[in-house]
Amino acid sequence: MNDEIRRALDTLFAADSELYANRGFARRIGFGKRPALVNIDLANAWTRPGYAFSCEGMETIIPAVQALLTVFRAKGLPVVYTTTAYDVTDGPNTDMGLWHYKIPAQVLQAGSDTVAIDDRIAPMEGEQLIVKKRASAFHGTYLAGFLRANNVDTVVVTGVTMSACVRNTVEDAIADGFKPIVVREAVDDRIQGAVAWNLFDVDAKFGDVEPLDTVLQHLQCNEA
């Protein structure tokens, strides 16, 4: 993000932060007793260059997710991945719904390398990979049931895009009774300003945005 955009956002956020504070927004939801790591759409179509869906910031996101995976796996905590993929990308029986009228969803063919999780952060055997059809990881999937069955009350969220699939997942998480924690260094987007604005707005209304070091310290200092 260039300096001009950053200065403009800082000015906007300063004014909005005061407004929210005066009206009782931006409270902290905090960590619960048992977290799960939910990695949103960190598949090749988003993490590698050259795709319509390619996002910025992988030089920061990938190491951040690797650090989180190390701690979650060491503590035996649930790890979930999502990818967005479609079985039928043409004709009257498509499972893309209406979304493909807005985005180039036709390239997200189920079973292709395009929608496979980036091998730098690939799932280990036994970790959940949820194939979703919509933006939210919760919409039309078994995620909520899986989390409840594992006594999870907190979701630590990473991935892309902050303005769409990550944000929608966080909104549905709190609606379904899970405490959302968004890791600041582990999310990104395609558009300058989209990450900063959505992190600010999510932190005010739907979940806690926390730096990676804070999340790692909490995980390391608390038993599973």
Distance CA 54, CA 43 (A): 10
Q: What share of the chain is helix, strand, coil (3-state, %, to 5)?
A: 40, 20, 40
Q: Which of 65, 164, 165, 187 is catalytic?
A: 165
**E-state strands within 104-222:** 128-132, 154-160, 179-188, 208-210
- Boundaries of every domain in the chain: 36-221
**55 catalytic, yes or no?**
no
| Whole-prediction pTM | 0.92
Q: What is the pLDDT of residue 1?
A: 61
Per-residue pLDDT of the chain (224 residues; tens, 9 = 90+): 667 666 766 666 665 666 677 787 778 999 999 999 999 999 999 999 999 999 999 999 999 999 999 999 999 999 999 999 999 999 999 999 999 999 999 999 999 999 999 999 999 999 999 999 999 999 999 999 999 999 999 999 999 999 999 999 999 999 999 999 999 999 999 987 788 889 989 999 999 999 999 999 999 987 65
Give the CATH number of domain 36-221. Answer: 3.40.50.850
